[in-house]
Amino acid sequence: MDVDANVQSMGWEHVHGPARAVMYELLASQDAALAHSLHDSGWNGQPLKPLGLTVPQFRGAPKKRGVYTTSRDGSVWLGSPVPEIAAVLVAALASRTEIVWGPARLKVRGLAIDVEVPVHGPVELETVTPVVLKHENRYLLPGDKHYLARLQHNLTHKADVLGLPAPSGVRVLEAGPRRRFTVRGAPRIGAQVRVGLEADAQFVEALRSWGVGLDTVQGFGWIR
């Protein structure tokens, strides 16, 4: 979705903070029962929500200390690996001329459906937003003792929810700096990563419309 912001900047608390509300509002506008079911119960008997999105990404935005700057050339990606959910999202977005993102109003300039070509064998995936993982209520960063184990667990859990084979050979190839965001008054800490893994082509495609790690519905872990 191509967007144009009506403000020159947003506070950092409004970057990831509104994402979850935006996603559920879009779903509820077309299928309130589905939105409530996902919110309250997750999917396929599991608490995981197969939903992902990015925060608004603005090309050419000038850097300014203390705020998240915008531009007239922005994009937001949203997706789901579940066709029924993805169809509701497409229907919701097709009728929108504007998205309210916290204090910002994002004018919708265009909408496109991104279709990925299935990839077989070893793949590399890079995230455009930080990946959030936890161990015993502590946020983890690449290089931490339990990071790979929790990453593998997250990916295996996602595969189980979708009824697909779990990936193997998961490894971190590159990591960005530590990033900290405030979401509903609580911190979220993570880093962008480039990971390698071996996985079923259908699962790789699913990850690209869902994301890696926790809080994907809050805009974390989206794959470029």
- 16 vs 44: CA distance, rounded Å: 26
Which backbone phi and psi does 4 adopt, to 5 degrees? -130, 120
The stretch 13-33 carries a mean pLDDT of: 96
Tell me 71's DSSP state: -
| Adjacent-strand bridge partners of 179 | 190
| pLDDT, tens digit (0-9, with 9 covering 90-100), for 153-187 | 999 999 999 999 999 999 999 999 999 998 988 99
Q: Do 177 and 191 contact (CB within 8 A), yes or no?
A: yes
Instruction: Determine the residue type at 188.
Output: R
pTM strictly above 0.75: yes
Q: Quick one: 172 exposed, middle or buried, by C-beta within 10 A (0-12, 13-18, 19+)?
A: middle
Task: Identify the pLDDT of residue 117.
Answer: 65
2-110 is a CATH 3.30.70.1890 domain: yes
The stretch 135-150 carries a mean pLDDT of: 96
Task: Identify the pLDDT of residue 185.
Answer: 86
* Length in residues, the chain: 224
Q: Concatenate the DSSP letters of all residues of 78-146 into one string.
A: EE-SSHHHHHHHHHHHHT-SEEEETTEEEEEEE-----PPP--SEEEEEBSS-BB-EETTEE--TTSTT
Tell me 218's DSSP state: G
122-218 is a CATH 1.10.3720.10 domain: no
Q: What's the distance, CA 62 to chain centroid?
A: 24
Domain limits of the chain?
2-110, 122-218
Q: Do 193 and 142 contact (CB within 8 A), yes or no?
A: yes
| pLDDT, tens digit (0-9, with 9 covering 90-100), for 72-122 | 999 999 999 999 999 999 999 998 999 999 999 999 999 988 876 666 668
SS3 at position 172: strand
What are the tokens at 174?
């590159």
- Per-residue confidence band for 209, with pLDDT thresholds at 50, 70 and 90: very high
The whole-chain average pLDDT of the chain stands at 94
Q: Do 181 and 16 contact (CB within 8 A), yes or no?
A: yes
CA distances from 184 to 12, 15, 18, 38 (A): 12, 11, 9, 19
- Per-residue confidence band for 2, with pLDDT thresholds at 50, 70 and 90: very high
Q: Check if 2-110 and 122-218 are the same fold.
A: yes
Task: Identify the pLDDT of residue 120.
Answer: 67
- 50 vs 43: CA distance, rounded Å: 7
Q: Do 10 and 103 contact (CB within 8 A), yes or no?
A: yes
Task: Identify the pLDDT of residue 158.
Answer: 97
